[in-house]
Amino acid sequence: MITTYNSLGFVNTRAMFQVALKNSFAVPAYNFNNMEQLQAIVMACLETQSPVILQVSKGAREYADRTLLRYMAQGAVEMMKRIAREKNLGEIPIALHLDHGDSFELCKSCVESGFSSVMIDGSHLPYDENVALTKRVVDYAHQYDVTVEGELGILAGVEEDVKAENHSFTRPEEVADFLRQTGVDSLAIAIGTSHGAYKFKPGQKPMIRLDILHEIEKRIPGFPIVLHGSSSVPQAAVEIINKYGGKLNGSIGIPEDQLREAARSAVCKINIDSDGRLVMTAKIREVFASKPEEFDPRKYLGPAREALKQMYISKNKNVLGSAGQAPAILAVIK
Ligand code: 13P
């Protein structure tokens, strides 16, 4: 039996991206695999009235159990609605998205269990195979009005099962043909972002190739573009981690002003995972060091959740520009 995403209270990404293009912002796509992350994401987005894409990777599905994770996301929608009523806030649109789907079967399983959006990542395949796999997923997902993200170009870095030593930038001359042949709803591109906390070598100037982005935009005007690997690796968090026994050497992220510029363009979705991991780890290490007598997980996970929430609030307001955009999206959906 298929569970439709709208019966769970999710929306797909179509209206989100339409409004993001019109109003020049990017929808946050934040990964989660546990309760505190999910609460922080949803509360930050509700308080800033931002749309949000809850991202679940294959690894997260394995870690938290795919059934539990889906019910957690569904519970987050119900929590959002209740708190919106209690605090007299507007509701926000929430999408549930599979991050880096690596097979048709995985995408199908997510569509059938209530995801409103899936990514099929065939970027490591030869072009024609990427086209064929992506088209197969699109043809299936669109029957249920689930939106699909494809990828062209390879990001460097390590993200759970997704590993690449070197990146290869998206070739602007391929994008229009890829969209035409596959029918995808959005396209992830490689312009120098990468997964993880080590995006540039020490001494290297952190810079993404906005020139390639603009060239791609010219070839597919008005089409939603996605940036993966967009953590900024806050140095304050890295310093706290290292101060309290951590060992992160030379971790560098994407400067927030470059992401802000990308968000003003056709980039409609920005993926952020590592920053949350760093902020959470920094706070937990700090509590362990400053309150060694504590052993109740709520006493360190609670402060970590609050630190995460503040980080997401800042991203929505100052980087993605998504704060205050929820009502415009809901108006399109209704
Ligand atoms: P970061 O590792 O930069 O947070 O990227 C996450 C991501 O792209 C998830 O798909």
For ligand 1, which residues put their CB under 6 angstroms from it? 31, 99-100, 159, 195-196, 228-231, 271-275
Mutate to test the pocket of ligand 1, among 154, 273, 312, 319 (most ligand atoms within 8 A of CB): 273
Residue pLDDT, tens place only, 115-145: 999 999 999 999 999 999 999 999 999 999 9
Which residues share a beta bridge with 56? Answer: 98
Cα 89 to Cα 80: distance, rounded to the nearest angstrom:
10
Is the predicted pLDDT of residue 159 greater than 60, yes or no? no
Distance 294 CA to ligand 1 centre (A): 32
Whole-number percent of the chain with pLDDT over 90: 93
Give the neighbor-by-neighbor strand order of the sheet with 194-195.
Answer: 162-164, 156-159, 194-195
Is 139 one of the annotated active-site residues of the chain?
no
Distance 193 CA to ligand 1 centre (A): 9
**Angle, helix 256-263 to helix 210-219, in steps of 10 degrees:** 10
Distance 278 CA to ligand 1 centre (A): 12
Distance 5 CA to ligand 1 centre (A): 24
Mean pLDDT of the chain: 96
Q: Which helix (H) or strand (E) holds 95?
A: strand 94-101
pLDDT value at residue 158: 58
Q: Which helix (H) or strand (E) holds 152?
A: strand 147-152
Cα–Cα distances (Å) from 220 to 40, 161, 172, in that order, read 35, 30, 9
Ligand 1 atom with the shortest distance to the CA of 230: 3
Is the predicted pLDDT of residue 161 greater than 90, yes or no? no
pLDDT value at residue 157: 67
Indicate the SS3 state at residue 29.
strand
pLDDT band at 296 (very low <50, low <70, confident <90, very high): very high
| Beta-strand pair 52-57/94-101 | parallel
